[in-house]
């Protein structure tokens, strides 16, 4: 990738963030709760990325997303550690593709612990597929300038609908419909 010298890159010390350094089954098992608890922070980050089209402008929102995920894991560790570890172990060891279908009993125990001790319900099926409106505290970025060149109409003229149409010389384009 080529970068011009006018582009200001952030310093390395501003990029240092505590990472969520966990395994795939652990992240998959806690994913619905992280998605629900950190929904507004994540939506703000994704809105920033889409509006600015520049990852450097969204470093603070990215830090907030990581901090939110870490806080969810810390609260799980504090309140529901044993139930969560059983669920993660089941997801990890019961199938080769981290399938949840064999772990519904341990999932129910973990879900009950999250509901009782942390007051967080597991999101229902289809929760993350619903359309939502996100109200951002940031002002919207300025609109891009209008294009300098006007749009040119299609130069290819169309045949009128009443024009005679001859049959194709070599039959159909589809090889299975030749005569």
Q: What is the pLDDT of residue 158?
A: 75
Residues 120-128 have a mean pLDDT of: 93
The CA-atom distances, in angstroms, between 161 and each of 154, 158, 168 are: 18, 9, 17
Q: Where are the domains of the chain?
A: 23-123
| 3-class secondary structure, 75 | helix
Q: Radius of gyration (Cα) for the chain, nearest Å?
A: 27
Predicted confidence (pLDDT) per residue in 53-111, tens digit: 888 888 999 999 999 999 999 999 999 999 999 999 999 999 889 999 999 999 999 99
Q: Name residues whose C-beta falls within 8 Å of residue 64's C-beta, 6 or more positions apart in sequence.
A: 41, 44, 45
Given phi > 0 = left and psi -120 to 50 = alpha, else beta, which region is 116?
A: alpha
């Amino acid at each position: 990738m080529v970068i011009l010298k006018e582009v200001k890159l952030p310093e390395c010390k501003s990029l240092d963030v505590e990472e969520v350094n966990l395994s795939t089954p652990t992240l998959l098992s806690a994913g619905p709760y992280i998605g629900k608890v950190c929904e507004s922070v994540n939506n703000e980050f994704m809105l920033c990325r889409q509006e600015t089209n520049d990852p450097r402008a969204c470093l603070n929102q990215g830090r907030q997303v990581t901090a939110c995920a870490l806080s969810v894991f810390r609260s799980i560790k504090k309140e529901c550690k044993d139930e969560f570890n059983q669920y993660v172990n089941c997801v990890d060891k019961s199938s080769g593709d981290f399938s949840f279908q064999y772990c519904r009993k341990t999932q129910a125990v973990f879900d009950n612990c999250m509901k009782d001790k942390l007051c967080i319900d597991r999101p229902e099926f289809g929760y993350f597929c619903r359309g939502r409106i996100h109200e951002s505290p940031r002002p919207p970025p300025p609109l891009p300038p209008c294009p300098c060149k006007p749009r040119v109409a299609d130069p290819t003229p169309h045949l009128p609908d009443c024009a005679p149409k001859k049959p194709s010389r070599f039959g159909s384009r589809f090889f299975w419909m030749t005569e």
